[in-house]
Amino acid sequence: MQSRIQKGGDAVELFLEGRFTFADHESFRHIIEELGADAPPRQCTIDLTEVSYLDSAAVGMLLLMRERFDRSKITLKGGSSSVKELIRIAKLGTLFDIAD
């Protein structure tokens, strides 16, 4: 998985690309730490448009981020059809805003 962070005021956009799996656990923890270094962002969009695959460990990492930034508005954006299906099956729409 490749990642890029774009900050603007109190909003952050995290762009992810490739396969998001258990192998990315450590790097995603570093991303969470970086985003919350000063203070958690008020709004965070996780752009999954270029993510080709998401496994259950990646879902767990997203939930970890949701827990860490409990007062932030977090939006999951885009994703392949299989990524969107996993988001639906895992009912992540109850914890995150979902955008196409």
Domains along the chain with CATH numbers: 2-99 (3.30.750.24)
- Tell me the three state secondary structure of residue 1: coil
Tell me the C-alpha distance between 63 and 82, whole Å: 19
End-to-end Cα spacing for the chain: 20
Q: Is the pTM of this model over 0.85?
A: yes
* pLDDT tens per residue, range 29-83: 999 998 887 788 999 999 999 999 999 999 999 999 999 999 999 999 999 999 9
Tell me the C-alpha distance between 35 and 28, whole Å: 11
Tell me the C-alpha distance between 39 and 23, whole Å: 27
